[in-house]
Amino acid sequence: MTVLTPSVRRVQTAAAGASALVVARLLLEVAVHERSRATDWRPVVRAAIQQVASDCSSPNWDGYGAKPVSLRSKENAQRLVDLLPVDLPEPQAVADPDGHIALWWDFGRDRVLTISVDESEVASYAGIFGRDVRRHGQEPFRDDVARALLDSIREVSSRG
């Protein structure tokens, strides 16, 4: 088995022998090309956050007593989006009943991650990364995004 580990993503083939390296390099080229084609989804998500914040600006927007989304949470969520690398998969913006904004990556059952951003530049996250892998915690963010968050986003989107 030949494995190349480029900066973009792990490339792996089941090929063996002399042809394995060629196949792996071709896959690597595909991966690099994929990255170069990636469109910048961040303005779209920023706009979605704006829309969600507007939709959920009144108390009880969820019918269960939710707090209105705060301006600070909205701005922090948008800033977090700006700090995310564009090669990551696009999240969905979601309103949190405590007045925060969350980013949601969902790839089906047992592959889901939510990062919720509050007013104080703290991101709470929880995810399921396959049947037996769960992780949750909180990370501060200001000028960059914690490695734990980035790794979690990559992991939830890569597990098949």
Nearer to another protein, 31 or 90 (CB): 90
Segment lying near another protein (by CB under 8 A), choices 15-23, 74-82, 87-95, 144-152: 87-95
* Binding status of residue 31 toward another protein by CB under 8 A: no
* Binding status of residue 55 toward another protein by CB under 8 A: yes
* Binding status of residue 116 toward another protein by CB under 8 A: yes
Q: How far apart are CB 25 and another protein at their closest, in Å?
A: 34
**Rounded to the nearest 5°, which phi and psi values hold at 13?**
-130, 160
DSSP conformation letters of 46-94: HHHHHHHHHHT-STTTTSS-PPPPPHHHHHHHHHHHHHS-TTSPPPEEE
End-to-end CA distance of the chain: 19
* Token output for 131: 């049947």
Which positions touch another protein (CB under 8 A)? 52, 55-56, 60-66, 92-98, 102, 104, 106, 108-110, 112, 114, 116, 118, 124-128, 134, 136-138
